[in-house]
Structure 1
Amino acid sequence: MNQLTPFACAALLGLAGTALAQTDPATDKPTTTTTVKGADQVVPQVTITGGRQTEMDVRRNSTAAKQIYGREELDRNGDSNLGDVLKRLPGVTIGGRPGRGGDVRMRGLGSGYTQVLVNGERPPAGFSMESISPDQVERIEVMRGPVAEHSTRAIAGTINVVLREDYVQRDNQLKVSDSLESGRHSPELSITVPGKSGAFGYSLNGSIRQNRQHDEGRTHNVDTRDDGTVTKDQQVTDESSGTGKAIHLAPRLSYKFDNGDTINFQPFLMYNTRDSGSSSTLVQAAGSAAPEYNFAEQQSHNDSTFLRGFGNWLHKMDGNAKLDVKFGFGAGKMDSDSLRNQYDTAGTLLDRFTDTDQTRDRSVNMGGKYTRPLGAGHLLAAGWDLEASHREQTRVSLDKNGNAQFADSGDNLTADTRRVALFAQDEWDVTPQFGMYVGLRWEGIRTTSERSSGSVKNTSSVFSPLLHGVWRIPGSEKDQLRASLTKSYKSPNVQDLIAAPFLSRLNSATRPDRSGNPDLKPELATGLDLAYEHYIGRSGIVSAGGFIRDIDNLIRRQLTLRDTELGPRWLSTPENIGHARTSGIELEAKFKLNELITDAPDIDVRSNYSRFWSRVDGIPGPDNRLDQQAKQTANLGLDYRLKVVPLTVGGSYNWTPRIRTQTSTEQVVETGQKRALDVYALWKFDARTQLRIAASNALAEDAPGSNLVYANGLTSRADTVNPTFVVWSARLETKF
């Protein structure tokens, strides 16, 4: 797969498309130009101007590279969560095993390097993209290089999720679906009701769903001394089952004043609750010390509520100038509690642990952007961003005798974050063939925290100059080159700065406790991006690009063995360790087959392939890569619309090879390859009703991994295997 895709992209570079997309300079809208030659005459040129730019038009005309994925991509496979949509986008991978999702990553980089926004704003802490239903989303914007109007906390890139907008949907829409995994049903109902009354427009979007899942895992732990003596040999089998319920509401309200001003407001409410039970069986084949337990069972309850409000006021001024003032707020409540009992082989209770966590988040933000044209093809913008957030967290962890499991158990931890940013940018079409974007952004962040052990303060600021350029090759309207030179950064999150200790059961070098570090500095990156784009027909493209990121103050977790009130325990703490560099190539081919080959079937082809390299200074190779970065990733998708019946069938295949990373001089972490196959069939009863049948993770391969640590003359190895499952789903969609 990884070999075929580049050859396919290269072969398609020489093929001409059948339609010519241009932009009307008077309206900045797409046009189609047709010239027909007869035997004796030439029919005069006819120009037809469309109403809105297509997704491919926006991508083509953007000075700073931006990819748009709208409702067609979101609806294509009938996905039940946004993570399944994101994993098929070029250069995007999802952490965790197939079917369970995880953090969103671009360019193979691990958690925190990819900036994920909702309506251009950072979501509150604890918010997960996996919890958003695709029905709530209007489009996804992917930007590989940072731009000044968004935060430059985007070393890998930015993914902006834009929630539903009222001007697109004209009919009421109802979707009823059910998915089946290992005999467990997960129903979902979503509805969209748009409307307009005079100057007031609205779109009411909501969904309710229930999720049932069962997970299994097997871990083999072995500790061996330098002389070959096995000091521990354990087999741990874990099982868990749970039921979750979720309600999402995302209405959008808009009012247009007589003077042309517009005010928009979109609240987003998400409520999730989950009850689960788990068990763990430990069999020790060798070991000088008795195991912590032989059998354990745990009951857990979690619920969370997030409320986020996005709004903006757009004021039109003289000379086509605009002032766009943004405002927003957020509130989050997360509660969890668990009870864990541990027994020996005779069923005698060895210990009981109760853990509770109460977290409260509040935030408010305000910003604005002033734009003004400076002659034809020249747009100047400047603005500001202000944000304040407050977190309160109380964690209690007790054993059966009521003893605290860590020093700050029961204390109220508070954290306050203040962020200030100023930016300016200039988009300039220097000539019809060359456009450039120059941006500057300064951003400062201050985090303060109070806890029983003392106060924590961390202040950082970053200045980011940004330069993007696009050259439309003369004489070849379908070809263009892009280049970007940028500064970006990755700031430590609040958890890494001030987190209370998280205790690991079966504490070992491969399962350490975790804590924060208040002295962390942000990672700083200088980036260079190059890309060549060839447009095919109305919606096709072949592109080839490359990038380099030079990173200073790299953050990586370090392992230490410390004496605590519970005895010697392994602890993982984040630290700035030095310098790293990553680079890569990214290829994409997307086209309609019948626009390239006459009388070909109506098949859409979507493919992309990425290859990544990285090196961390100060850590011996050959696998001294950035943490969790895949070496390669590829996607191939096909959609076939049959002509004789109203049926569309298709699927997509995602591949990420095994990842082996030397994270430090003592530790090597390995993740097995991922192969995910999703297929679907769509039957259209009429223009308003359709039925979609889909199977995701059809291969259902096990997800293996290993963790190897060598320290103090002892080699600790943990090998894990987690089964995955096929998820079948059916969705009925109707408009009324």
Structure 2
Amino acid sequence: MSSAHASDPGDIVVVEGKDSDLHKQFVAGKLIVGRKRIEESGGKTVEEVLRKEPSVTISSNGRLGLLGLPGYTQILVDGAPGSTGRSPLELDVVHIERIEIVKTSIAELGPYGTAGTINIITRKIARLSLTQARLGGALGARDHAGNFSWSSNHPGTFFSYSLQASGGYQRRSSDSETSVLRDAGDALPLQQQTANSRNTTDTPRLSTSSSLSWAIAKGEKIELSPSILWFKTTSNVDEYSAWAAQYQPGRPTHSESQSDQDLSTISIPLKWSYRPDKDTQLSLRLLSTQSRVASLLDRRDQIPAQSDEFRQSNQWMRMHNNSLKFDFSQGISASHELKAGLTLLNNRTWTDLANLRDKEFESSFDTFGRAREAIQRTRSYFLQDEWKISEEVSTNFGISGELRTTNMAEGEFVSASRYSVAAPSAHLAWKIDGSDRKQVRASVARSFKAPFLDQMVVRPVINPMAACPSKNECLTNAPEYADTAGNAQLKPEKALGFNLSYEHYFGKETSLTIELFERRITELVVNRIEYASVPWSRARRYVQRPSNDGDARLQGLSLEGVLNAREILAESPKIEMRGGVTFARSHRTDLAGADNHIPDQLPWRAKLGITYDMESAPLQFGINANWEPSERIQISDLRKSIIDRNFELGTEASWKIDQKYRLRFALENIGKARRRQADQYFETSSVVSKETVRHTAPKLGITLDIKL
């Protein structure tokens, strides 16, 4: 348990000491990345900070997660799902107070998070008046960026406030080469297609937030924390393709496309909290978020022996999210606390859609209409009992649950889904000999993975390499050019998780953690490619859809360590090392073969970070590395993927000019020049191999931190 009550995950736990001291107090092993470590990391976003944490793994496509399972890692903001349409990992650290990491499921964080939860706590009012600013930029052969952030904190006796603002601009460029071979078995493989593409993405962004706090009576407080976010992403893709003669008719040889996504969000959280005594706390939080997203795609295809084709795919979306969250905590004694919570959430999304070809609406989409409305209502609860039974033994028992209904209307398709889940959990911490230096933790928890709304949308995305040759009719396609569509009747995946860990502290920071984990997943959501009759084509088409099909089992072992050299040898240089390695294996019952593991799960992965502080000068140097082996995975009966091994290396340096100014340098993507992915598609009488190579380049970043 912590030494201060915090029934709302957004509350600041006021405890003196380092992040490791806080970690020892939580029965379920909650890891804390505090404000001090966030600032020292030099990261500009939550993602950049977490990339250096040993407990956070990086997948082959760059996604962050826990236990090597990014798709099963729950990411929350102040204990609730983010609702802005932008990934919470992209939040600028100027808006962040701390980050909590739990590699299991606990009741107060809800029934989701099969691999665990990353909970991002937004910036609150600190005890000291302080103004900070950060200016930065990055330059590389393919990327460049500029950014700024500013925060000002003003505490008071009855009224306090803080202000934050951040913004920037980023340009990313990437090149890729694709080769498609068809092997029918009776001759040499045929080069079906070769393609070269260049993608340039520009992203300006701006966000502001504030926190206003009134102490209206003793133990009673009201907080208002409005925020505004705007960003725009513009991507330009230029692609040249060469086709074998028998595949060329109707195929584009040169394509140009531009996509724009413009998002603006305003969020207004209002929170009332009341603490009648030191053992009891109540809070009520109202949150209203309004978002608008415009997504526009223009594409021009040059096709031999015919005029150019122009296609547009546009969406205008409005999202209204409103929630009411009630939390209660009661301290039964200094070592025993009960928590409970109830959340009511209503999400409503209106989307206007237009698919045009040569400025006329494509009739293939008529059955799906030109508008979509989705209403999602969620009722969730939790009850948790955390008890320090003795100096040696502490427990955490709880249950969380949710009832969710989703109603969606897409032209002629009207769907309704409803499900309820209940997730009990139990955690035990045993301090050997009553000491914080040696501790065993054990957890068993039921958890779920809810389907995303996008996975339930039945309106298809037609593959541009097998687009409909006329406005009124689609022809058949091939598995390597499959369309994609959702499934309105998707259900949550169920999982039963076990964790067993041993922590040994050799000093205040130097530690070693060994953890065994297992996940048993049922009603697994998999993406299957099927050849079927579809509403948007008279001919049958290959289409990829998600479905609850099969079970899976994952077992693994992780080792994480922190080494402060001076805690081992007082005369040593001021060096700190943080690293981790994870070994895992998984098996899916819905597929046969040796490569039928869960996507993104690798046999092993490792990361290492080293920091060196000079004593003769105010300089700090660091190096960060991440290793992943090649990945072979059977996606479905018709598709297998092979992804090359990955090695990421970055270096950084920090110069503390004086108490107010610090200059940082970072060099990323060292030696990472290319990444290859090969996909195999199995047809009735042939195998199609599709290989894509993407190129990257090093990037140099410079940041100036200012404290006023």
TM-score by length of 1: 0.89
Match of 2:336 among 354, 371, 378: 378
SS at match of 2:20: helix
**What's the CA shift for 1:322?**
1.2
| 1:289 Cα offset (Å) | 4.5
Distance in 1, matches of 2:98 and 2:488, equals 37
Counterparts of 1:168 and 1:596, CA distance in 2: 35
Partner of 1:713: 685
Of 350, 353, 369, the residue aligned with 2:308 is 350
Q: Give 3-state SS (helix, strand or coil) of 1:482's partner.
A: strand
Give 1:327 shift: 2.3
Mapped partners of 1:666, 1:119: distance in 2: 41
Per-residue Cα deviation, 1:417-474 (whole angstroms, up to 9, x for no partner):
1111122111111111100011011211111111212311111111111101100001
Q: Please identify, of 312-321 and 657-666, the stretch whose mean Cα deviation from structure 2 is larger.
A: 312-321
Cross-structure match for 2:69? 109
Which shows bigger deviation, 403-412 or 467-476? 403-412
Paired residue for 1:453, among 412, 415, 424?
412
Q: Which runs of 5+ in 1 are unaligned?
A: 1-22, 29-49
**Cα 1:576–1:636 shift into 2, 3 Å:** same
- Corresponding residue for 1:528? 498
Q: How many residue pairs are counted as aligned between the two chains?
A: 687
**1:540 to 1:267, Cα distance in 2 relative to 1, 3 A:** farther
Paired with 2:496 and 2:700, the residues of 1 have a C-alpha distance of 44
Q: CA deviation at 1:251?
A: 1.5
Q: How does 1:24-423 map to 2 (within 5 A)?
A: 52-95=16-59, 97=61, 101=62, 103-111=63-71, 113-124=72-83, 126-167=85-126, 170-182=129-141, 185-228=144-187, 230=189, 233-285=192-244, 287-290=246-249, 292-318=251-277, 320-344=279-303, 349-400=307-358, 402-404=360-362, 405-408=364-367, 411-423=370-382
Q: SS where residue 65 of structure 1 aligns?
A: coil
Question: 5+ unaligned residues in a row in structure 2: which ranges?
Answer: 6-13, 467-477
* SS of the residue 1:474 aligns to: helix
SS at match of 1:172: strand
1:515 offset after TM fit, Å?
0.8
Matches of 2:85 and 2:97, distance apart in 1: 23
Q: 1:288 to 1:198 in 2, by over 3 A?
A: closer
State the match for 2:473 in structure 1: none
Letter in structure 2 aligned against 1:570: Y
Q: Secondary structure at the match of 2:314?
A: strand
Q: Could you tell which deviates more after superposition, 709-718 or 137-146? A: 709-718
Measure, in 2, the Cα distance between the counterparts of 1:213 and 1:180.
10
Query: In structure 2, what is the equivalent of residue 14 of structure 1?
Result: none
**SS of equivalent residue, structure 2 residue 501:** strand
User: Identity of aligned pairs, percent?
Assistant: 24
Equivalent residue for 1:637, pick from 599, 609, 612: 609
- Residue 475 of structure 1 and its aligned partner are, at CA, apart by 6.1
Are residue 611 (structure 1) and residue 571 (structure 2) matched?
A: no
What code does the residue aligned with 1:248 have? Answer: S
Q: Counterpart of 1:484 in structure 2: which amino acid?
A: S
Contact 2:311–2:359, Cα closer than 8 Å, also in 1: no
Q: Determine the C-alpha separation between the residues in 1 that align with 2:220 and 2:60.
A: 45
> CA 1:318–1:177 in structure 2 vs 1: closer, same or farther (change >3 Å)?
closer
- TM superposition shift of 1:655: 1.3
> Relative to structure 1, is the Cα distance of residues 412 and 471 closer, same or farther in structure 2, using a 3 angstrom cutoff?
same
Q: Give, as a single letter, the amino acid of the residue that structure 1 aligns with 2:338.
A: L
Matches of 1:169 and 1:549, distance apart in 2:
44
Q: In the aligned structure 2, how far is the partner of 1:169 from the partner of 1:709? A: 61
Q: Point out the more displaced range, 650-659 or 286-295.
A: 286-295
Q: Once the 2 structures are TM-superposed, how far is the Cα of residue 730 of structure 1 from its aligned partner? A: 0.6
Deviation at 1:498, TM superposition (A): 2.4
Letter in 1 for 2:528: Q
Match of 2:402 among 440, 443, 454: 443
Deviation of residue 566 (structure 1)? 6.9
For 2:565, the equivalent position in structure 1 comes to 593
Quote the offset at 1:131 in angstroms: 2.9
* Cα distance in 1 between the residues matched to 2:196 and 2:158: 61
**3-state SS of 1:510 partner:** helix
The aligned residue for residue 698 of structure 2 is: 726
Deviates more, 1:676-685 or 1:401-410: 401-410
Equivalent of residue 511 in structure 2, options 541, 544, 566: 541
Q: Relative to 1, partners in 2 of residues 1:666 and 1:91: Cα closer, same or farther, differing over 3 Å? A: farther
Partner Cα separation in structure 2 for residue 451 and residue 459 of structure 1: 18
| TM-score with structure 2 setting the length | 0.92
Give how far 1:410 is off: 5.1
Look up the equivalent residue of 1:735 and give its one-letter code. K
CA distance in 2, matches of 1:301, 1:292: 25
Task: State the one-letter code of the partner of 1:419.
Answer: T
Q: Distance in 2 between matches of 1:87 and 1:512?
A: 34
What is the Cα deviation at residue 321 of structure 1?
A: 1.4
> 1 CA distance for matches of 2:592 and 2:245?
32
Q: Which residue in the other structure is 1:40 paired with?
A: none
In 2, the alpha carbon distance for the partners of 1:475 and 1:274 equals 54
State whether residues 55 and 560 of structure 2, in contact with CA within 8 Å, keep that contact through their aligned partners in structure 1: no
Query: Is the 1:261–1:314 contact (alpha carbons within 8 Å) kept by the matching residues of 2?
Result: yes
State the SS of the aligned residue for 2:548: strand
1:5 alignment partner in structure 2: none
1:20 match: none
User: Cα distance 1:183–1:105, how it changes in 2: closer, same or farther (>3 A)?
Assistant: closer
Q: Deviations over 1:1-45 (max 9, x none)?
A: xxxxxxxxxxxxxxxxxxxxxx998x89xxxxxxxxxxxxxxxxx
1:558 aligned partner: 528
Residues 1:667 and 2:608 are matched in the alignment: no
Mean Cα deviation higher: 253-262 or 700-709: 253-262
Shift of 1:117: 0.5
1:280 CA drift (Å): 0.6
**Separation in 2 of the partners of 1:93 and 1:728?**
24
2:651 pairs with 1:687: no
Q: Residue by residue, what CA displacement relative to the aligned partner does 1:362-400 show, whole Å, maximum 9, x if unpaired?
A: 111112121112234111122211111011122221222
Whether contact under 8 Å (1:394, 1:410) holds in the other structure is no
Indicate if the aligned counterparts of 1:174 and 1:191 stay in contact, CA closer than 8 A. Answer: yes
Secondary structure of the residue that 2:107 maps to in structure 1? coil
For residues 598 and 312 of structure 1, what CA distance do their matches in structure 2 show?
48
Q: Residue 706 of structure 1 contacts residue 717 of structure 1 at CA under 8 Å; is this kept in 2?
A: yes
Q: Provide Cα deviations, 1:599-631, integer angstroms capped at 9, x if missing partner.
A: 000011101111111100131121110122222
Alpha-carbon distance in 2 for matches of 1:232, 1:453: 41
